[in-house]
Chain A
Amino acid sequence: MAQNMNELNNQNTVLSVRNVSMNFGGLRALSEVDLDVHPGEVVALIGPNGAGKTTFFNCITGIYTPTEGVVTAYPKTGKPRRINGMRTNLVCELGMARTFQNIRLFPSMTALENVMIGRHCRTKTGILGAVLRGSGTRREEQEVVDKSYEMLTKVGLEKLANEYSRNLPYGAQRRLEIARALATEPFLLLLDEPAAGMNPQETEELKQMVIRIREEFKVSVLLIEHDMKMVMSLSDRIYVMEYGRIISTGTPKEVSEDPQVIRAYLGEDDDA
């Protein structure tokens, strides 16, 4: 890992995963996974159902502690941090925000409030401040509202700001999760199947949105996705996972021509 502190701010890595394995009892869900994300990149992680992709996200966001291996994050400012075993909320505070494969919004909060939750780790009003509601608290609160609303406009949900998130249409809920993650000011956005359940048109819009967000917020994106059209056109690099192992990596073109990948995907069909 980088010993030279002067070089930290022009790192060419934002996330480095080395030799990570995850065992659930006897089940080896991940084995010796290596993965890197460079600044501004969109990296896709693909693989058949049950390959271990979501488990990988859980391992690098502190929801699980990997059995072996090292995960290192390189925030825009500050030292690189080893994040396996770190608490989930601290990983988020460090600047890695995620969405969930099965949407996990806060259903009885409004869309705006859902995004405001994302601002929590960037603000600091405590109990006393909230009760007294002095000028500092009011200013912070207003800033939270404004920033959150801005995030909603980025994902095209500003009209639904005061709707309960449980009442939003499915596609809107997925976009709301992205807005909520963005509100935490991440340097790396982790999207777990953001296009799942969307129709081709919504998927295309989502793709454009991810491109815009990457430009505007200068974030890197790590994406799990089954929609090959989206993956192939959106990602700079792809990792292919099967049975918890990375079996291939490279540009979309390289990966799609890799015989191992073709076997992994077509092999599935043969078995079925």
Chain B
Amino acid sequence: MEKYWQADIETMSREDMKALQSERLVKQVRHVYDNVPYYRDLMDKKGVTPDDIQSVDDLHKLPFLSKADLREAYPTGMLAVPMKDCVRIHSTSGTTGRRVVAFYTQNDVDLWEDCCARAITAAGGTADDVCQVAYGYGLFTGGFGLNGGSHKVGCLTLPMSSGNTERQIQFMRDLGATILCCTPSYAAYIGETLHDMGLTPDDIQLKAGIFGAEPWTEEMRRSIEQSLGIKAYDIYGLTESSGPGVAFECCEQTGMHINEDHFIPEIIDPETGEVLPEGTVGELVFTSITKEAFPLLRYRTRDLCVLSRKKCSCGRTLIKMAKPKGRSDDMMIIRGVNVFPSQIETVLIEQGYSPNYLIEVDRKNNSDTLDISVEMNPEQFSDKVKDLQEKERSLAGAIKTMLGISPKVHLVAPKTITRSEGKAVRVIDKRKLHD
């Protein structure tokens, strides 16, 4: 029997959900218009007033917000309540520019933790579980978000944060952790370390993992499931929209249910901004309809994905989003071709290689070069140069088939590519150095 955290919401009829969304949207637009001058200006420029928004069908009339807007409004330009009403901030890493600081009221934190509790429940979590949170704690949303959700569900929560992998495994064993929450690349690393310590999935109690905060492939999922002996569930979110828990996977593992009572999703054409019909791939846009402190309307996530209202066997009626194909800023244009790291990862795992790889893009003699270093496992090593070169050639061929451009593949020794305890660094684009 499928368990829900908030059954009334998670299985609500489409009509009721639409009514709930409309009611909340109308209120939210008024709240933002009255309290966020930055967005009021955008609405005024577009000639839209709060009165023009009567239901979710009017959503398309509102202006978009982009990451650039948030940077411009840094640090408090998007704040919609007095600072004294806020109880917490989180922040993006700021690796690709100025940081974004998101504010939370106590109510915002509560609703966010409910979203995470839905995810944990959907992964089979109950008050009987021991939930190990190995996402970073701090400005990053991952640690605190899942920690809060785990408390709500009533799990015994292990606030491990990321890093110190052998200690992670020791706690996992000694306290019988049953659910692991971290980035997929860190989960893969924990699996690898477990095996290096001479242990197998039989030595741990883990049954499920909730992994997010970076794009990962189906192949990576299978590989993690095997190495840890668990079912691995995807979770989606971004700091701008509170953190993990915007969408979560159920037992079907065929996409993530979006918490539509808090976030209205749209898919748009990233070029024209036009709203695309359900089932079309495009850029995901979210409107937060319950956030008080940092309510973003029509925020462009830059994640490319597709939505589906197909009936789900878990009984939830919440719309599903497919695993994002990649974030539009992860996309590289190499020799004129769009390339996502996830496409390369898919080929590597299909061909039996480890998900530890490094993509280096450079420009030589006005032509882009694509070099991929891939770890081989000890069984793949051959003492004949021509065998290894043949492996490199055949892998390069498979990647060419996927991408349409030829890479140079370099096999490297096992465990020589740096492991990540948080979000993995998969791409080094040296072309940027020349620009």
A, B: real partners:
no
Residues in B lying within 8 Å of A, measured CB to CB = none
